[in-house]
Amino acid sequence: MIIHLAAVTSVLASVADPVATHRLNVDATARLLEVARENEVGTFLFASTTRSSARAAASGGHHRAGRASPAHPVRRHQGGGRMLIGSYASCYGMTGASLRFSNVYGPGMAEKDSFIPG
């Protein structure tokens, strides 16, 4: 089993440098999936964010009811990772799942731009 928890989650960083965050998020996920396929790993778990946390980070922590979530690069990168996992699962028989965490809280949260303060 591979449990993939590494990613750039910052909306602001993804807007500032979308190519670098794509490399770290999507390309790294693709490489890990390929390692899993080559080594016949049966299960691939992927940490992702929910739409609500990405939307709140993009809007400064405030939800706007009835509006579509913005298409910031980090959100699209997370979706790309989920699509890759689905492709590998259907093509190579691997079990894949995306764990959609929202506002995971812990050390270092002062530096995060995705936490919605209470």
Give the DSSP letter of residue 70: P
Note whether residue 54 is domain-resident: yes
43 compared with 103, residue with greater pLDDT: 43
Note whether residue 117 is domain-resident: no
Note whether residue 18 is domain-resident: yes
Residue 18 pLDDT: 92
The domain that contains 45 carries what CATH number? Answer: 3.40.50.720
39 compared with 48, residue with greater pLDDT: 39
User: Which residues form the domain of 87?
Assistant: 2-103
Residue bearing tokens 């919605």? 116
Query: How high does pLDDT run on average in the chain?
Result: 77
pLDDT digits over 47-99, tens only? 876 554 444 444 444 344 444 456 788 888 888 888 999 999 999 999 998 88
Note whether residue 114 is domain-resident: no
Note whether residue 67 is domain-resident: yes
Contact 21, 77 (CB under 8 A): yes
105 compared with 25, residue with greater pLDDT: 25
Look at residue 17 and give its three-state secondary structure.
coil
Of 90, 108, 58, 84, the C-alpha closest to 4 is 84
Note whether residue 115 is domain-resident: no
Q: Residue 39 above 90 pLDDT?
A: yes
Based on the structure, what is the number of domains in the chain? 1
For the chain, give the longest Cα–Cα distance: 45
Note whether residue 113 is domain-resident: no
Q: Residue 102 above 70 pLDDT?
A: no
